[in-house]
Amino acid sequence: MVTPVPDKDPEEWVTGDEPMTGPQQSYLNTLAHEAGVDVPDDLTKARASELIDELQERTGRQGGREDDGRTSGSTPGSR
């Protein structure tokens, strides 16, 4: 069983200023298409995560981490 890791504000992520990951970009493109919006290609990991949350609300996709393009199994502070 996986122990849930408390959500950390993306602004506090150690790697939050790095470019978004491939899975984040792929999921963002899916959400953006469903929401009818454009997404910049040069987002940081932190901003991509925030935008994923916003677009999930907008599209009605309130999925868990497995569904949102974030790297699963990440350690706290490594996002």
Domain limits for position 47: 24-35+43-59
How many residues appear in the chain? 79
The answer to the question of residue 13 being in a domain is no
Q: pLDDT, tens digit, for every residue of 3-30?
A: 665 677 776 777 888 999 999 999 999 9
The answer to the question of residue 75 being in a domain is no
The pLDDT value recorded for residue 58 is 92
The answer to the question of residue 78 being in a domain is no
Angle between helices 22-35 and 45-59 in degrees, nearest 10 = 30
The answer to the question of residue 65 being in a domain is no
The pLDDT value recorded for residue 15 is 80
The pLDDT value recorded for residue 61 is 86
Q: Say if residues 49 and 79 touch (Cβ distance below 8 Å).
A: yes
| pTM for the structure as a whole | 0.66
Measured from the Cβ of residue 55, the count of other Cβ atoms closer than 10 Å reads 21
The answer to the question of residue 53 being in a domain is yes
Question: Is 73 a residue whose pLDDT tops 80?
Answer: no
Q: pLDDT, tens digit, for every residue of 17-66?
A: 899 999 999 999 999 999 999 999 999 999 999 999 999 999 998 765 44
The answer to the question of residue 47 being in a domain is yes
DSSP code at position 50: H
Total structural domains within the chain? 1
